[in-house]
Amino acid sequence: MDSVYPSSSATISLKPPRNSDSNSFSGSRNWVPSSSGSGHKVGSFSRSLMEKKPQKVVVGDAGYVLEDVPHFSDYIPHLPTYPNPLQDNPAYSVVKQYFVNVDDTVAQKIVVHNNSPRGTHFRRAGPRQKVYFESDDVHACIVTCGGLCPGLNTVIREIVCGLHHMYGVKKVLGIDGGYRGFYSRNTISLTPKSVNDIHKRGGTILGTSRGGHNTSKIVDSIQDRGINQVYIIGGDGTQKGASVIYEEIKRRGLKVVVAGIPKTIDNDIPVIDRSFGFDTAVEEAQRAINAAHVESESVENGIGVVKLMGRYSGFIAMYATLASRDVDCCLIPESPFYLEGPGGLFEYIEKRLKENGHMVIVIAEGAGQELLSEIMHSMAKQDASGNKLLQDVGLWISQKIKDHFSKRHKMTINLKYIDPTYMIRAVPSNASDNVYCTLLAQSAVHGAMAGYTGFTVGPVNGRHSYIPFHRIIEQQNKVVITDRMWARLLSSTNQPSFLRAKDVIEDKKEELPSQLSDHQNGLKDNLVKKEISYAL
Annotated binding site: 147, 210-211, 235-238, 264-266, 309-311, 365, 422-425
CA distance 16 to 29: 8
Cβ 230 vs Cβ 222: under 8 Å: yes
Of 344, 329, 340, 341, the C-alpha closest to 296 is 329
Put residue 101 in one of left, alpha, beta given phi > 0 → left and psi -120 to 50 → alpha: beta
CA-CA distances (angstroms) from residue 162 to 154, 189, 338, 443?
12, 16, 51, 9
Q: For residue 525, give every residue at least 6 positions away whose Cβ sits within 8 Å of its Cβ, in sequence order, or none.
A: none
Sign of CA dihedral 460, 463, 468, 472: positive
CA distance 184 to 181: 5
3-state class (DSSP) for residue 406: helix
Mark the binding-site residues for Mg(2+), compressed into ranges: 236
> To 10 degrees, the CA torsion angle through 42, 47, 53, 55?
0
DSSP 439-496: HHHHHHHHHHHTTB-SEEEEEETTEEEEEEHHHHHSS-----TTSHHHHHHHHHH---
Cβ 336 vs Cβ 503: under 8 Å: yes
Cβ 467 vs Cβ 122: under 8 Å: yes
Q: For residue 31, give every residue at least 6 positions away whose Cβ sits within 8 Å of its Cβ, in sequence order, or none.
A: 25, 39, 40, 56, 57, 58
Q: Which letter, b or e, does each residue of 37-73 get, where b requires 16 or more Cβ atoms within 10 Å of its Cβ?
A: eebeebeebbeebbeeebbbbbbbeebbbbbbbbbbb
Residue tagged active-site, from 74, 104, 266, 433: 266
What letter does residue 533 receive in the DSSP assignment?
H
Cβ 22 vs Cβ 29: under 8 Å: no
CA-CA distances (angstroms) from residue 54 to 38, 69, 427?
8, 12, 40
Of 455, 454, 446, the C-alpha closest to 132 is 446
Mark the binding-site residues for substrate, compressed into ranges: 264-266, 309-311, 365, 422-425
Residue 264 sits at φ, ψ, to 5 deg, of -160, 125
Mark the binding-site residues for ATP, compressed into ranges: 147, 210-211, 235-238
Q: Is 266 labeled as catalytic in the residue annotation?
A: yes
Of 259, 257, 211, the C-alpha closest to 233 is 259
Cβ 11 vs Cβ 106: under 8 Å: yes
- Residues marked active site are found at 266
